[in-house]
Amino acid sequence: MRLLNFLLSALTSDDLAALASGLVEVSLSPGQVLFEPGDAVDAVYFPGSACVSIVTLMKDGKAVETSTVGRESAAGLMDAITERPARARIFAQIGGGAMRLPAAIYRARLVASPALLRLTLLHLRANAVQAEQGVACNASHDVQGRLARWILMTQDRVGADVFPLTQEYMAVMTGVQRSTVSIMAGALKKAGVIDYSRGALKVLDRQALLLHACECYDVVGQQFEDLRGVEPEERA
């Protein structure tokens, strides 16, 4: 079993053995919806090369991305273990591999394993910090800083320098008009920090992109890196 997901890799051998029979490797297509608001969350997804987006839908039809989940954690975790319906649209922003586990198996193991319970709570905390920081970020930081942060986070989650990302979705990520994103992304492209064409984005200079990103990138990222024991300089 290939454990590209950091949460799965952090399991004790007993927890992994208990969950292994239910883990199935799946391939997520770009845009594939895993859960719509109100759906029963009957599975937990552990992305490997895929990147899953959690989007809040407003009554006027506007969609705002509140968080993303890649290889650092799991998608659907909170709703699956509490047996509550999905509160947002959860879909594959970037297609790729993931492991799927029935929620019932995960819940049963939580009851039997204090180690899994603690690890799960730490991941839920890290995901909550991401959402909370995102609210503060949208209210406090300029668009270019927020855009650079989201690009870095997406790169971290897929583990590659090149990944599919359109200007339209950059607008969803940052919560601004596409025309605004076009100007900000164009400035980063002109500076030689990124390149993009035909829906694909390439990070050319990660160090320069880090300088453009707002402080929220480090705040959010460190939550998950602490769970892996990675020092900040190693991450950069």
Asked whether 75 and 96 are in contact (CB, 8 A), the reply is: no
The SS3 of residue 210 is helix
The string of pLDDT tens digits covering residues 104-159 is 999 999 999 999 999 999 999 888 888 777 778 777 788 888 889 889 988 888 88
From the candidate CATH numbers 3.90.1150.110, 1.10.10.10, 3.10.129.10, 3.40.50.1010, the one assigned to the domain spanning 137-235 = 1.10.10.10
Q: Is the predicted pLDDT of residue 234 greater than 80, yes or no? A: no
Q: Is the dihedral of CA 127, 81, 54, 18 positive or negative?
A: positive
Give one word for 29, left, alpha or beta, with left for phi > 0 and alpha for psi -120 to 50: beta
Q: How far out from the chain centre does Cα 89 lie? A: 13
Q: What is the pLDDT of residue 3?
A: 59
The string of pLDDT tens digits covering residues 166-204 is 888 787 777 778 888 888 888 999 999 999 888 889 999
The string of pLDDT tens digits covering residues 46-89 is 999 999 999 888 888 777 788 889 998 999 999 999 999 999 99
Arch. (CATH architecture) of 6-113: Sandwich (2.60)
Rg, the chain, Cα only: 17
* Whole-prediction pTM: 0.83
Kindly indicate the confidence band of residue 221, based on its pLDDT and cuts at 50, 70 and 90: confident
Q: Where are the domains of the chain?
A: 6-113, 137-235
Residue 64: CA atoms inside 13 Å, Cβ hemisphere, count? 12
Report which of 66, 90, 94, 62 is spatially closest to residue 165, judged by C-alpha positions: 94
Structure tokens of 95?
A: 């297609």
Distance CA 215, CA 169 (A): 22
Rounded to an integer, the average pLDDT of 10-15 is: 94
Q: Is the predicted pLDDT of residue 226 greater than 80, yes or no? A: no
